[in-house]
Amino acid sequence: EYDVVVSSGEQVTSGLLALTLQSMGCKARSWLGWQLPVKTVESHAKARVDAIDSPDMIASLERGEIAVIPGFQGISSDGRVTTMGRGGSDTSAVAVAAAINADRCDIYTDVDGVYTTDPRIVAKAHKQKAVTYEEMLELASVGAKVLQTRSVSLAMKEGVRIQVLSSFLGDDAIPADELPGTMIVSDEEMDQLVEKGDMERQLVTGIAHDKNEAKITLTRVPDKPGAVAHIFEPLADASINVDMIIQNVGRDKGETDVTFTVPQADLARAQALLEDRRDDIGFNRIITDSQIAKISVVGVGMKSHAGVASTMFRALSERGINIQAISTSEIKVSVLIDEDETELAVRVLHTAYGLDAAEGKA
The full set of domain ranges for the chain reads 1-102
**pLDDT at 111 (0 to 100):** 84
Cα(342)–Cα(321) distance, integer angstroms: 9
CA-derived radius of gyration, the chain: 23
Task: Please identify, in words, the CATH class of the domain defined by 1-102.
Answer: alpha beta
Strands 292-298 and 332-338: antiparallel
- The CA-based angle 317-322-323, given to 5 degrees, is 100
**pLDDT at 2 (0 to 100):** 82
pTM for this prediction? 0.83
Strands 255-263 and 213-222: antiparallel
Cα(152)–Cα(160) distance, integer angstroms: 9
Write the DSSP assignment of 152-176 as a string of letters.
HHHHHHHT-EEEEEETT--SS---G
- The CA-based angle 125-129-130, given to 5 degrees, is 110
Q: Averaged in consecutive runs of 10 residues, what is the pLDDT profile of the chain (362 residues)? A: 87 96 97 89 79 90 95 88 86 94 91 90 92 93 85 94 84 56 92 80 90 96 92 94 86 86 97 96 96 96 89 97 94 96 98 77 40
**pLDDT at 175 (0 to 100):** 53
Cα(15)–Cα(28) distance, integer angstroms: 10
**pLDDT at 172 (0 to 100):** 55
**pLDDT at 250 (0 to 100):** 61
**pLDDT at 359 (0 to 100):** 47
Cα(163)–Cα(60) distance, integer angstroms: 25
